[in-house]
Amino acid sequence: MLPACAPPHIHGVTAEDLADDCRRAVIAFCRGVSGGWTKRELAEWLAGPYAAIAHLTSSEDTPPPPSVRPPSSQRHETPVPGLADGRIMSLLDPAWQDAISCIEACANGSEHLFVDEAAEWGTLARVVDDDGVMLFAPVHRSGLSLAQRVQSLVLCDYLLRPEDYRGELQVCSHCSVVLLGDADRRRGQCADHQRRSDIVTLGFAPLEAEEG
């Protein structure tokens, strides 16, 4: 259970905006891992897509987490700036594996295990948008592991639109990213590759055809 308290307000962000941003950040992370991210690319993701979401609310405005210790599996995680380039996968791969496990749990109805952990470490908080609607948002806290940060994005997206996660998991036929939502699953492609496919379909005829 997430702790109950007067939730902070976030401005200019709807539930759909927040869920979309979280999903895009998770997909970018998963693609980055499979594509062989460098330390620089991970740092850019943390300072860009992740930070834009996790800093919507301040940890000072949310209740302190019950636990002050990192999970045993992440207790000795090396910060990104101090990590040697050759060891970047030792940080990325466990976080990716945990993200997939979290997505699978959301799909099969056992997500409460991850939600409880998020509450314990304070990575998710209740917030209120401009219309007074209660939402969930990831929270940046110092000392969080990379896995905890990625999981908070997955859980935020799930809690805002759980129907997209229900059912058998499928992956994009082009990039193997997990497909979420009925539309993507019917097409068998992620949104990015659907757009590329639409560009090809709606684009100009090949030069060979024009010459003929």
Question: pLDDT for 116-151, tens place per residue?
Answer: 999 888 899 888 988 898 998 999 888 899 999 999
Same domain, 150 and 46: yes
Give the integer Cα–Cα distance in Å for 135 and 56: 12
Give the integer Cα–Cα distance in Å for 50 and 12: 18
| Token representation of residue 52 | 């834009």
Q: Which domain holds residue 162?
A: 15-167
| Residue 8 CB burial class (10 angstroms; 0-12, 13-18, ≥19) | middle
Helices of type H across the chain: 15-34, 39-45, 51-54, 89-108, 112-121, 146-160, 182-187, 191-202, 207-211
Q: Is residue 6 part of a domain?
A: no
Q: Residue 18, SS3?
A: helix
Give the integer Cα–Cα distance in Å for 110 and 99: 14
B/e letters for 157-178, b = 16+ CB within 10 Å, e = fewer, are bbbbeeebbeeeeeebeeeebb
Give the integer Cα–Cα distance in Å for 210 and 65: 64
59-76: pLDDT as tens digits: 666 656 665 544 444 444
Same domain, 190 and 133: no
Same domain, 145 and 189: no
pTM score:
0.78
Same domain, 199 and 117: no
Same domain, 128 and 208: no
Q: Is residue 4 part of a domain?
A: no
pLDDT of residue 1: 52
Q: Is residue 5 part of a domain?
A: no
Same domain, 112 and 205: no
Same domain, 72 and 149: yes
Between residues 56 and 102, the one the model is more confident about: 102
Same domain, 109 and 193: no
Same domain, 71 and 125: yes
Same domain, 67 and 44: yes
Same domain, 37 and 128: yes
Same domain, 142 and 189: no
